[in-house]
Structure 1
Amino acid sequence: MMSQFDYKSVANKVIDIELQAIEHLKQYVNDDFTAACEMILSCQGKVVVMGMGKSGHIGKKIAASFASTGTSSFFVHPGEAAHGDLGMIESGDIVLAISNSGESSEILSLFPVLKRLNNKIISMTGKPSSSMANLSDIHLQITVPQEACPLGLAPTSSTTATLVLGDALAVSLLEARGFTAQDFALSHPGGALGRKLLLKLSDIMHSGDKLPKVTADTLIRDALLEISQKGLGMTAVVDEKQRLTGIFTDGDLRRILDKRIDIHTTQIGEVMIANPTSVSPDLLAAEGVNIMQEKSINGLLLCNDDGELVGALNMLDMLRAGVM
Structure 2
Amino acid sequence: MATVTHDQALANARQLLNGQPGAALAQAQAIIEAVPTSAAAHRLVAHALRALDRESEAQAASLAAVGATIHDEAMVDAALALAEDRLPDAEAALRQRLREDATDVAAIRMLAEVAGRIGRYEDAEKLLSRALQLAPGFGAARANLATVYYKQNRFAEAAETLDAVLGDDPDNPAHANLRAAALGRIGGYDEALALYEELTRRFPDHAKLWMSYGHLLKTVGRQDDSIAAYRRALDADPGLGEIWWSLANLKTIRFDAGDRAAMEAALVAAEPDSEARADDRLHLHFALGKAYDDAAEHEPAFRH
Fold match, TM over 0.5? no
Quick check: which has more Rg, 1 or 2?
1
Q: Give the structure with the higher percent helix.
A: 2
Higher relative contact order, chain-length normalized (CA < 8 Å, sep 6+): 1
Under TM normalisation by the shorter chain, which class is it? under 0.3
Q: Higher strand share goes to which structure?
A: 1
